[in-house]
Amino acid sequence: MITENIQKLLNEQFIRELFSANLYLSICSYFEDQELDGFANFFRLQAQEEMQHAMKQFDYIHQVDGKVNMTAVDAPQTEFSSILEAFELSLAHEQLVTKSIHQIVKTAIEEGDFATHAFLQWFVTEQVEEEALIKNILRKLKMVGDNSSALYLLNDELSRRKPAPAE
């Protein structure tokens, strides 16, 4: 059984993960409209991963006899001025998610909730990977600049990304 405080934090994180999925679908749509199928593929897969993260949390809350509180999910941004803005927004959002997960870990430690602490270690590692992935693409985008040939190659690289195996 988890405390009310941990349950509240996990529910907030669950909704945050659903928001992440919606945000990434919104960015995917932006790239679809730009006919950049590789970039769209990248964010479609990111959205799918975020849904998997949300479901991990949904399942965990139930496993520890908690209650999932379904609340409204805020609408994400739908307009983007550039490819760079979309990725910068994505990085800022991932950093926010990382901060949130770290806060739940800290609270779990303070409350002696070792099960939740252990559960969240997967998410801590995942966030390191997520941020590094986005930073890597941002570095490439900054190198590419306005070079359409290089942008084409990056789009092609992202089109080959496959879904991560479900864990």
**70, 50, 63, 5 alpha-carbon torsion, rounded to 10°:** -60
Report H helices in 64-147: 83-110, 114-144
Written as one letter, the residue type at 133 is: L
pLDDT value, residue 166: 65
d(C-alpha 102, C-alpha 133), whole Å? 19
Domain boundaries, the chain: 4-70+79-159
d(C-alpha 109, C-alpha 117), whole Å? 7
The alpha carbon of 116 is separated from its chain's Cα centroid by a whole number of angstroms, namely: 20
Mean pLDDT, rounded, of the chain: 95
The tally of CA atoms less than 13 A away on the side-chain side of residue 83 is 26
pLDDT value, residue 144: 93
Give percent above pLDDT 90 in the chain: 92
Question: pTM to 2 decimals?
Answer: 0.94
- Superfamily of chain region 4-70+79-159: Ferritin, core subunit, four-helix bundle (1.20.1260.10)
pLDDT tens for 107-163 read 999 999 999 999 999 999 999 999 999 999 999 999 999 899 999 999 999 998 888
